[in-house]
Amino acid sequence: MFAVSSLSSLLLSKSSSNHKFRDGISGFSFIIDGKSVNISSSRALGGGSSSTIFFDPRTERETGEVFKISPDQLWETMLCCAEVDGEDLGAVDVYKVPLESSQKSPIEGSVFSVIFDAFHMFVTIRIGRAYWSFERYAEGILVQRSLQADAVIKKSMKEDRVKGFSVLQTRCSESLGVSKKLDTVNDLISVLKEEFKAIISSPFDALLNNCQHFVRKILRQMGFNYNS
C-alpha cells in the first residue's frame, strides 16, 4: 500500500477565497448553538507555540475559519464541545480516499490508485451528537467536527475530497463499531495524547510513516485489532 498526502494544494487553493486559515495558538473561538466557545492560548494551557494541528469546528459550512492549534488546545476544544454535544463515544469507521481525487498527492492518475492501491486514509468517530474525523498529512494533523456525518466524510479543509468524475470514490473501508475500551471523550483524549505526542515528534514519510500508519496506531490504542 502506498500513501502520500498533502494539504499544500488545498491551502493554496483557498488563499484567495472567503475561507480563513487562522493561527489559533494565542487563543481562538467559534460558535456552537449560537454560543461562543472560547479556547485558551497554548501557553496558558502549558503547551508550546507549535501549531501542528488543523481544526475545523464546523466542517459542514462552506465558509468559516480553520484554526492551526496545538495538541493542548485540541484537548480543551474536545472537552468544551463535549459539554454541548455530549461525551459518549459512538461508532468508529475507517475511510479511504483515492490519491487520484482532488485530495491528491504529487502522484496522479486513477490507474495508479487502482493498481497500487494508493489511497489516503482517515478515521471518524461520533462524540455525543457530533461527528469527528482525524487524519494525518505531511503538514500536520487535520481534525474536523460536524453535526453531519457526511461533512467530515466528504470534506477536507472545506474542499470536496473527490471532485467531479473519479474512478474511485471515498469509501468506508471498515466499520469497527464502538470501542469496548473507551466510554467517554476523556477516555479518548487519554489515548490520543500519547499517540499524538509520538506522531508529532516523528517526521512524516510517504512510505514508512504516513496517514495509514497514523490511523492504525490510533485504532490499536483505542482497543481495536486493526491491521489493514
Model confidence over 141-151: pLDDT tens digits?
A: 999 999 999 99
pLDDT, position 21? 83
pLDDT band at 53 (very low <50, low <70, confident <90, very high): very high
Beta strands in 60-137 (DSSP E): 65-69, 89-98, 119-127, 130-137
Question: Does the structure show a pLDDT above 90 at 205?
Answer: no
Q: Region 127-140: what's the mean pLDDT? A: 95
List the domain boundaries for the chain.
8-221
pLDDT band at 73 (very low <50, low <70, confident <90, very high): very high
pLDDT band at 2 (very low <50, low <70, confident <90, very high): low
The region of weakest confidence among 4-13, 40-49, 53-62, 93-102 is: 4-13
- If we measure between CA atoms, which residue out of 153, 123, 136 comes closest to residue 203? 136
Per the prediction, the chain carries an average pLDDT of: 82
Find which of 26-40, 149-163, 190-204 is predicted with most confidence, using mean pLDDT: 26-40
Question: CA-CA distance, 209 to 3, in Å (whole number)?
Answer: 9
Question: CA-CA distance, 225 to 127, in Å (whole number)?
Answer: 21
Question: CA-CA distance, 124 to 171, in Å (whole number)?
Answer: 12
Global pTM?
0.85
Q: How confident is the model over 85-101, as pLDDT tens digits?
A: 999 999 999 999 877 54
Question: Does the structure show a pLDDT above 80 at 173?
Answer: no
pLDDT, position 118? 75
